[in-house]
Amino acid sequence: MPFQSPGGPGDNYAKQLVESLAVDLNAKNWIDSIVQQSAANEDYVVSGKITVEGSKAVTLINLNAPGGKSLWSFKVGGSMGNISALASQTSSQMASQIFLEIMKVRGKY
């Protein structure tokens, strides 16, 4: 689950976001999430880019189906004042939507 980050506090946020997302996705009974740098062709893939603008982080997230078809994109911004809370909140929103998007197409890929 690669997230591009500008470095510095953005890297810390990216790391916490990935950790939170792994926990949130694994809470779904049928989703076994594995954080890895390269995905197999049959995997759903979450990727994203984090930019830091002043004290605000902007996160762009993409969900791709097996084979690479784009299923969903999400953009969210938040204050870097509490990186842990931002990562947790963003992860919770992402995990719920990822679950819904995969359920829509489950069995098609």
More confident residue, 34 or 25: 25
Confidence of residue 51 (pLDDT cuts 50, 70, 90): very high
Range of the domain at 61: 3-94
This prediction's pTM: 0.82
Whole-number Å distance between alpha carbons of 100 and 28: 11
> What CATH code is carried by the domain that includes residue 80?
3.30.160
Please give the average per-residue pLDDT across 54-77, as a whole number: 92
Whole-number Å distance between alpha carbons of 51 and 54: 10
| Segment 81-91, tens digit of pLDDT | 999 999 999 99
Residue 101 within any structural domain of the chain: no
Q: Domains in the chain: how many in total?
A: 1
Residue 30 within any structural domain of the chain: yes
Please give the average per-residue pLDDT across 57-85, as a whole number: 92
**Is beta strand 56-64 parallel, antiparallel or unpaired with respect to 45-53?**
antiparallel
